[in-house]
Structure 1
Amino acid sequence: MSCSEPSTAESEAAAGGLARYVVAAALARCGDAGAVVGIVLLVTADGGSGLLAGALAACITAPHLLGPFVGRRVDTAADGRRVIATACVLYAVTLAAAVLTWQTVPAVVTGVLVAAAGLCGPLLTGGISSRLPAIVGPDQRTQRRAQGWDVATYGIGGTVGPSVVAALSGWLSPAAALLALAAAVLVASVCVLRLPFSPPAHGGDTGAVPRPWPTLALMARHGRLRRTGYLTMIVALGMAALPVTAVQLTTVFGVGAAAAGVLTATYGAGNLAGSVVVMVRPLRGDPDRLMRVLAATVVLGLVAVVLSPGFGVAIAAYGIAGALNAAFFAATLAARTEFAPQHARGQVFIWVAALKITSASAGTALAGALTGFDARVPVVVGALLILAAVLASLTEHRIAGSRARARASSGVPYAATSCGRSDR
């Protein structure tokens, strides 16, 4: 990675590109995050069953797991912007079609339309993130600051998207709220096309771009990418317990059930605050080490939630946990950027995003099952799992380092990564 200072013109171009990126990413992620809430409200407002609402909500979230199988096109295309913009348009059109035909077509047709929108979702999350390194340039500090902005767009999407849906559903209707989300994603497609162009890394040889399963195998073999994958998954699993636990803690602290919203909103606010800190003071150092350190601090945030003696302290603990998780997320973005092979960067971003969503879903289900024992048990289990993952990462890193030194002392070169660093 170049250490040279970018010129004034390059800095201004990168700043303009980043501004357009933030708008595009925030709009797209508001649409992606708010759609689940909107679908549930659409069904229940018309007297549909909770089972049907849940099934249609699953139709828009489950296809995210197939993201890596559509994400390869981002790496093989001559212009990845067009692929992502097309995904935004398809998302908006299929979501709008599902809303406008609701109750006039069989539910299975609505499910197919919603699933088609969900299949485009990974390109609105990991796909857009994969464009960021080319926009801001090779300077590491600039990239790290831009990753703070990226974390913020996820926080905005996860907070503003559902909030807008809830507000518009009460003011107008759930259908109007969903159509507003579709319009936002449509605007995002235009913004994506206005991002700076970057030539494909494959140089015209699309055969050099691995397919989804070989990409996953590459990630499993590559020590740093492997640790990026499982640390991201385990932290997502552990943090997924917080919304479920928030509901249970209202009973523990003797406050109204609506107060659970205060806890989750504080978590979101903390997440945004954490992303601002990363923007102002970008993360420094090796992303592999940063992930371990920041995952360990996330454990401390969860411990604060568990040990909260009252509702007020719990609010503060949720905010702290959100801020720490934002910093950890920024470290995972740095790891994906710096460790992924350039010709498969888009797929690596989307694979990690898909695995994260899967793990978070599993964490929510696990938390629901464990709350029957005690409100805080899911958080304790999450903290222990994250701590175990941190120790596994540290142990693996030290073993790889010992092997590298042994090979170096014997004169055998150690395998190099695409970034020119030993695969430790």
Structure 2
Amino acid sequence: MVRYVFAATLVRSADGGAVVAIVLLSHAAGQPGWVSGLLGASITAPHLLGPFIARRLDTAHDGRKVIAVSALAHGLLLGAAALALPVTWPIIPAVLLVLSGLFGPMLTGGVSSRLPSIAGPSQRSQRRAQSWDVASYGISGTLGPAAVASVAALSGPLPATLMLAGAAVIGAGAVMALPRQQEHVVATDVPSPLRTLGLIVRSGPLRRTLGLTVVVAFSVAMLPIYAVSIAPHLGAPALAGTLVAGYGVGSLAGSALLMIWPLRGDADRLTVLLAAAVACALLLVIPAQSLATAIAVFTLAGIANSLFFAATLAARSEYAPVLSRGQVFIWVGALKIAAGSAGTAVAGTLITGSAWLPLTAAAGMCGLAAAVTALGRRGDQRSA
């Protein structure tokens, strides 16, 4: 598990910090804001195509090699784009970034799909390992952008971007240090990406996990925009960073709690209950009028989302068919990223009116999704 967390944190930090690094580098190169935005989107948008290359992970004799090659390609393409950006037309680094982004899902859901066979057979050991995986996401999501900002401030954005590229290359080596999993799979038995999506839709637990993951990701993505909107009323615009940091601390605190007290019980039921908990946490954010209260409720939202994320990892591990486990992880992860991007865009559009409106709608959406999913789950149980 120590080797797993080290490798996962390295490759995910490279993936998570890449957007910040490229945007800073683009600004430093004198590109207009809209070009910087498009370059940033060039890394994240290809995540949606990840499921269509994920089948290779399920058919490989050694899945470590697939993930390691993906991390190596991601790092080299990111480094090449960084070197090209200041000296070429933006279209060239954009193409390189799109190719780099294609490998991003392998570094998130692809790595997580290796966890079930590493963690051990018991549910308790699986759940504890998933807690470490949640911590890896939280650490890399904080460490990547923070390291980029620090190195960029000291040495410039180009060294910061090359540092991330190097982290991905080193992470590729760390992935190969993980225990090898013997894959006895006939390639023709592994379903295609679209068939895998169909399997997810037909499986009640996986369908509910996917639906709730998309809704929750869409909803919590509004929190940073909301933080920017209310920060001036709390004392200063810069306090938005403090609120977002509170959310990040909550995510890490949630994973720490899970390491001590792993989730117990049916993963399908847990995802429904914890999606409702996220809805309640989002509602508590809205009436916060002081800085201390706002930090507290942002932290609480981070804890709730961390617990929900752990439940979705458990559901994917326990309900995904063995022949398409990697594809299931990557499908859910890719759609989660797309939903988060949509949530940020919607919040940015609606926030110009009433700051509370998008977050209220998001909380209501989470609560409604949890209620509808609970009814669907009950219906499935009656049918069974």
TM-score, with normalisation over the residues of structure 2? 0.99
Larger displacement relative to structure 2 (370-379 or 143-152): 370-379
Write out aligned runs for 1:240-251 (5 A). 240-251=221-232
Aligned position for 2:369: 389
Amino acid at match of 2:237: A
Of the candidates 190, 215, 219, which is equivalent to residue 209 of structure 1?
Answer: 190
Q: 2:300 aligns with which of 301, 320, 345?
A: 320
Question: Which residue of 173, 178, 187 corresponds with 1:195?
Answer: 178
Paired amino acid for 1:231: L
Query: 1:101: how far off?
Result: 2.0
Q: Which amino acid aligns with 2:254?
A: G
**Which residue of structure 2 lines up, in the alignment, with residue 39 of structure 1?**
22
Give the Cα–Cα distance (whole angstroms) in 1 for the partners of residues 376 and 289 of structure 2.
Answer: 37
RMSD over equivalenced CA pairs, Å? 0.9
Q: What is the CA–CA distance in structure 1 between the aligned matches of 2:379 and 2:117, rounded to whole Å?
A: 33
State the AA in 1 paired with 2:231: T
Q: Structure 1 CA distance, aligned partners of 2:381 and 2:2?
A: 40
The residue number in structure 1 matching 2:62 is 79
Alignment of 1:83-232 (within 5 A): 83-200=66-183, 203-232=184-213
Match of 2:239 in 1: 259
What is the Cα deviation at residue 45 of structure 1? 1.2
CA deviation after TM superposition for structure 1 residue 204, in Å: 3.6
- 2:344 aligned with 1:364: yes
4+ runs deviating over 3 angstroms: none
Does 2:1 correspond to 1:21? no
How far apart in 2 are the matches of 1:21 and 1:187?
13
Pairwise CA distance, 1:373: 2.2
Amino acid at match of 2:162: L
* Alignment partner of 1:281 is 2:264: no
Structure number with bigger Rg:
1
Matched residues, number: 384
Provide the rounded CA distance (Å) in 2 between the counterparts of 1:103 and 1:319.
39
Partner amino acid, structure 1, of 2:208: R
How far is 1:79 from its partner? 0.5
Per mean C-alpha deviation after superposition, the further-off stretch among 68-77 and 97-106 is 97-106
The unaligned stretches of length 5 or more in structure 2 are: none
Secondary structure of the 1:26 match is helix
Counterparts of 1:103 and 1:358, CA distance in 2: 29
Match of 1:298 among 278, 289, 293: 278
Deviation at 1:252, TM superposition (A): 3.1
Identity %: 48
Cα distance, 1:392 vs. partner?
A: 1.0
What residue number does 1:5 align with?
Answer: none
How far apart are the structure 1 equivalents of 2:108 and 2:76?
18
2:382 alignment partner AA: S
Deviations 1:320-353 (A, max 9, x none): 1001100000000000000000110000000000
Whole-Å separation in 1 of the counterparts to 2:112 and 2:261: 20
Q: Distance in 2 between matches of 1:207 and 1:123?
A: 21
How far has the Cα of 1:110 moved from its partner?
0.7
